Amino acid sequence: MISKKALVGAGLLASMLMMSSSALAQTVGFSQIGSESGWRAAETTLTLQQAEERGIDLKFADAQQKQENQIKALRSFIAQGVDAILIAPVVATGWDSVLEEAKEAEIPVILLDRMVDSSDDLYLTAVGSDLVHEGSVAGQWLVDALGGKDCNVVELQGTTGSSPAIDRKNGFEQAIEGHANVKLIRSQTGDFTRTKGKEVMESFLKAEDGGKNICALYAHNDDMAVGAIQAIKEAGLKPGEDILVVSIDAVPDIFQAMAAGEANATVELTPNMAGPAFDALAAYMKDGTMPPKFIQTESKLYTQADDPQAVYEQKKDLGY
Ligand code: AHR
């Protein structure tokens, strides 16, 4: 026979379980930027996986690179009464009104991988890397690799107005400041895509004596670097030797390029931003635990010395 004490205990446990599951997020809206890069594809895959593992119903909206689509998606999530919203904001400005609407509706918002210029009381937390640091790690790698040799650098920037484009540029410039041998001679957006990275690199090569006047490329992401590598090869030069290549993300394709000697270094950005975001959200919904305003992910430098073929093998099936 089951004792009264055990029944009371079981009842308590059942009601505690009910309370904790109803306190957790059931439905979360996710406004993704689009699919401009391999890294973005991996972030989408991992966010869907992380949601599924936690039994969260994830409402996914692809904004096709447009802020207006993200704002529409957020308004639709608010109207549907989701428990929380994740957003990777395409650009940094222009979010105040919609974030205020979410706050008014008491729906916590978490930023993924990119930052906004709005007041930080309009979102619960932001999960991302130190974007300035990433740029400065890339710049420092180049300064060290050159060992004082003169070098004209061209830069492929990310999407204009996005926090990674702004911060990665600043970080790189900080690292090369005071090194008179390193000169940034051209800088233009390639919108984080392979196609535009190739196009813009072609124009840099044309403008700089077929590339003879260029010693290094700094690309704000690996996809643009991969496009640019193609352009360098088509111009009859050797990427990785005639023109050094340093970029950011650490997607599998850049490791293949590194293994072939065609790229030199990359700074890793983890695509798993959703895991820490859902953990912070669960704690907040359970008992109001406030996460820090910024949950920082790691940035690791990889070079040709890090067995790029082996890293490629580890990463190739991870959703990039
Ligand atoms: O916001 C992160 C950046 O966005 C990644 O570095 C880039 O590949 C993506 O498009």
| pLDDT digit string (tens) for the chain, length 320 residues | 333 334 334 444 444 444 444 457 799 999 999 999 999 999 999 999 999 999 999 999 999 999 999 999 999 999 999 999 999 999 999 999 999 999 999 999 999 999 999 999 999 999 999 999 999 999 999 999 999 999 999 999 999 999 999 999 999 999 999 999 999 999 999 999 999 999 999 999 999 999 999 999 999 999 999 999 999 999 999 999 999 999 999 999 999 999 999 999 999 999 999 999 999 999 999 999 999 999 999 999 999 999 999 999 999 999 99
Please state the atom number of ligand 1 nearest to the C-alpha of residue 249.
6
What separation in Å is there between the alpha carbon of 40 and the centre of ligand 1?
Answer: 6
**Residue 25 pLDDT:** 75
What separation in Å is there between the alpha carbon of 157 and the centre of ligand 1?
Answer: 11
**Residue 122 pLDDT:** 98
Is any ligand 1 atom within 6 A of the Cβ of residue 221?
A: yes
Prediction pTM value: 0.92
What separation in Å is there between the alpha carbon of 10 and the centre of ligand 1?
Answer: 49
Q: Which helix (H) or strand (E) holds 111?
A: strand 109-112
For the four alpha carbons of 161, 164, 165 and 171, in that order, the dihedral sign comes to: positive
